[in-house]
Structure 1
Amino acid sequence: MTVKEVNPHFEDFLFDWNHKFYFLVGGYGSSKSYHVALKLIMKLLAEKRTALVVREVYDTHRDSIYSLLSEIIVDLGLEGKVKTGISPLQIRFPNGSKIIFKGMDKPAKLKSIHNVSIIWLEECSEVKYEGFKELIGRLRHPTLKLHMILSTNPVSTADWCYKYFFKDTKAKVHVLDDKELYQDRIKVVNDTYYHHSVADDNLFLPSSYIEQLEDLKQHDPDLYRVARKGRFGINGKLVLPQFEEWPHEAVMEAVQRIRNPIDRAGMDFGFEESYNALLRVTVDHTSKILYIHWEYYRNQMTDDRTAEDIAEFRGTGELIRADSAEPKTIQFFRQMGFNMRAAKKFAGSRLQYTKKVKRFKKIICSSNCPNTVDELKELTYAVDKAGEIIEDQFSIDPHIFSAIWYALDGYEVSDLNEVTP
């Protein structure tokens, strides 16, 4: 009988099959993929099952997971019993179990798969959310307990896997605070087993490898967080590092204390993938603070339905400064009794508006505006091929940020040194 030494932090995970989902996140070199592969082999030796291993791109299997599984099979002395094949990639066990490999870049081939009771989704953050939902539908067997194992290095908190398994502010979903996982290392919530690991958990790593990871702390803080700490966070350069979220009552109390408040409303238009975003903001010009305290944020809405949703603006005289790219929409709202006009746009206006917002010492947002928090708290710049930031382009299409631009049309944040990105 072969005796296999494993890392102690993974012992509980290796033998736990009580849950449907297993979510493993960790830093570089933590050995999470190795222990998932070992767990899978042991299970398929013990029970006749079909396991599906998935990556976003099929062609990456051979030199990654297939190679890892093959090495473990040899290491366990099973190469005479467990058969590996490369055309197609497949691993077969003496009891009839098998491992098949697929890529989400060839989704049509998933339709021919039947009786899969275990799915391993490696580097799950590379797979789109639609692909994850498709795989859940492929996980079915008439009698066997079903399991899905997801492993990944941490990415942005804007990624679907963070929002699904931890927190999604916009959808008001809170499953687990990731900080609890970093502290406790292993957590079970509902039917999901969470596991966090870092390089220190891999007792077989040379100390020189960990030293290399430590060097990232000074040179690349984003990569250090991912590679060394194994933690989710914000990837890239923040556009608004001075952004804060406050309880709604605290925001309104602060607004009421402003001696000469400047109240504004701004709106960006959208429909299918884009959003109608309407904000109410208040400027404290003396303190150079921007308060955001009311939001409307919906898509797939016709203009007449939107007019019903924001009827509190109709006939009040409250001015809405809106996206000048939609003159017909603005005219419609004016005919419906809204005081709406186009904000100025000109060559370079995106950059100028962005710099204007960045000049505020603080941008404080009400907790009653979850979509604003979701967009602005982690809004980062887009980068070019050389990795340099592009000052007027962003990681997402920022409808709320655009609404702020329009709301501040004609206002200048004076007497402040410009904050460079």
Structure 2
Amino acid sequence: MIEKAVNPRFEDYLFNWNETYQFLVGGYGSSKSYHTALKIILKLLCEKRTALVVREVFDTHRDSTFALFEDIIEELELGHAVKAVSSPMQLRFANGSRIMFKGMDNPAKLKSIHHISLIWIEECSEVKYEGFKELIGRLRHPELSLHMICTTNPVGTSNWTYRHFFRDEQKKRFVLDDHTLYEKGTVVKGDTYYHHSTACDNLFLLKSYIKQLDSLRQYDPDLYRIARKGQFGVNGIRVFPQFQVMEHTEVTERIAAIRRPLFRTGMDFGFEESYNAVIRLAVDPDKKELYIFWEYYKNKMTDDQTAEELQELADKKELIKADSAEPKSIQYFRRQGFCMVAAKKFPGSRLQYTKKLKRFKHIYCSDSCQNTIRELQNLTYAKNKNGVLSEDEFSIDPHTLSAIWYALDDYDAADLKDSSQKRTRPNRERGR
């Protein structure tokens, strides 16, 4: 008989083993890790199981998950039933259960482990998606029910945890609206149990800590969203805050109404990990607005396969500005009848091309261009090791952005502020 005060928000979670997958996301100090460790201990006291606790880096276990288990064992006075072994790092139960600690930085060691019926991935957003799928394959037992628990603080919506458990725009896969989870707190969807928590759910937390989290709102809204509210979103500063998604019919209607539209097409090459990306766009030079109305986005395609799928552009003799780093591909497409030339690339061109795009008052993207939306709508700047923003590095490698860069290679987007100053500047010739 064990008596233990727990946070009411986690009471049902502690004893729920109905679903195979359990995904816990929340803010700092919500006690999701504590209650997960307690949940696993209670389970292994009742059933003889082998559990695996995983983090991306093995060395981080000692001061986090392993120390947490040790604290709970001491707190519940379970030293007679559970023994902590520091080398190799394990918890051994009197009934034959055991908990092993592994890191994904040495996945080879996972292959020798058998009959794993319970896996806890702590800070799962730090684990690579391939590692997560590898762990699913390690979850197997001939008799016992199987369970995988994932705990994490929310990060950007580009992280695999969001794309796997909520929605993946690229694969057009929808599982659950994350805002529904924030509203309800607990949701069961298929064979997955979802749980959301914040610092307010931890009744044992000092009020001074919550006050400290609240202060983040004033100087770091991104961290406030993650740490205090425990919600997914855009991490960092958006590169194109003027980017808007618009229905395709409205995009075409607006382009038709432009007095002197400038049509441009750009192409970025890719094959294995990268993508062949082709973007067709229109510029309203008077209103300084950009319209993206067509995209092509595929990888693992040879040049001849791509040329066949883009034959329409060759038939129209549409000028395509392409990545100059692939002269062989450009020559191939030219021989196939495409009007393709190399775009200019020079030291600092990434930054200059990005600044050119940022000068548009509005960037409207057709809702049919899903890959462009996925890459650009929430694109943020990357930071260097000192935490300083890099204006020509981004959170992902956006292939559609490269295609847009090349498309606008010969377009000079005049700075609006400079243009305004030119209009109000006195005519020096007239004053002579």
Structure-2-length-normalised TM-score: 0.94
- Counterpart residue type for residue 364 of structure 2: I
Higher alpha-carbon deviation: 263-272 or 26-35: 263-272
Q: CA deviation at 1:363?
A: 0.8
Corresponding residue for residue 99 of structure 2: 99
Distance 1:330 1:173, change over 3 A: same
- Counterpart residue type for residue 370 of structure 1: Q
- Counterpart residue type for residue 211 of structure 1: K
**1:266 touches 1:320 (CA, 8 Å); kept in 2?**
yes
Partners of 1:138 and 1:407 in 2: CA distance: 47
Corresponding residue for residue 264 of structure 1: 264
Partner of 2:71, secondary structure, is helix
Q: How does 1:371-390 map to 2 (within 5 A)?
A: 371-390=371-390
Corresponding residue for residue 217 of structure 1: 217
Query: Any idea what the Cα deviations from partners look like across 1:312-336, whole Å, max 9, x if unmatched?
Result: 1113121111112222211111110
Query: Any idea what the Cα deviations from partners look like across 1:55-92, whole Å, max 9, x if unmatched?
Result: 11111111111111111111112112211111111112
Corresponding residue for residue 14 of structure 1: 14
Give % identity. Answer: 65
Partners of 2:408 and 2:86 in 1: CA distance: 61
Q: CA deviation at 1:212?
A: 0.3
Q: CA deviation at 1:341?
A: 1.2
Query: In the alignment, is residue 324 of structure 1 matched against residue 334 of structure 2?
Result: no
**1:247 touches 1:366 (CA, 8 Å); kept in 2?**
yes
Partners of 2:327 and 2:94 in 1: CA distance: 70
Q: CA deviation at 1:349?
A: 1.8
Partners of 1:416 and 1:265 in 2: CA distance: 24
Corresponding residue for residue 347 of structure 1: 347
Partner of 1:314, secondary structure, is helix
Uncovered stretches (5+) of structure 1, i.e. residues with no partner: none
Corresponding residue for residue 117 of structure 2: 117
Partners of 1:218 and 1:121 in 2: CA distance: 32
Uncovered stretches (5+) of structure 2, i.e. residues with no partner: 419-432
Partners of 2:285 and 2:180 in 1: CA distance: 40
- Counterpart residue type for residue 197 of structure 1: S
Partners of 1:78 and 1:165 in 2: CA distance: 35
Number of equivalent positions: 418
Q: CA deviation at 1:415?
A: 4.8
- Counterpart residue type for residue 290 of structure 2: L
Corresponding residue for residue 186 of structure 1: 186
Partners of 2:214 and 2:37 in 1: CA distance: 27
Partners of 1:99 and 1:415 in 2: CA distance: 61
Partners of 1:245 and 1:277 in 2: CA distance: 19
Higher alpha-carbon deviation: 385-394 or 119-128: 385-394
Partners of 1:62 and 1:322 in 2: CA distance: 51
Corresponding residue for residue 204 of structure 1: 204
Partners of 2:58 and 2:271 in 1: CA distance: 35
Corresponding residue for residue 52 of structure 1: 52
Distance 1:211 1:84, change over 3 A: same
- Counterpart residue type for residue 296 of structure 2: Y
Corresponding residue for residue 241 of structure 2: 241
Corresponding residue for residue 303 of structure 2: 303
Query: Any idea what the Cα deviations from partners look like across 1:109-163, whole Å, max 9, x if unmatched?
Result: 1011111100000000111111101100000000111000000011111111110
Structure-1-length-normalised TM-score: 0.97
**1:359 touches 1:417 (CA, 8 Å); kept in 2?**
no
Query: Any idea what the Cα deviations from partners look like across 1:227-286, whole Å, max 9, x if unmatched?
Result: 111111111221111111122222222222222221111111112221111011111222
- Counterpart residue type for residue 273 of structure 1: E
Runs of 4+ in 1 over 3 A off after TM superposition: none
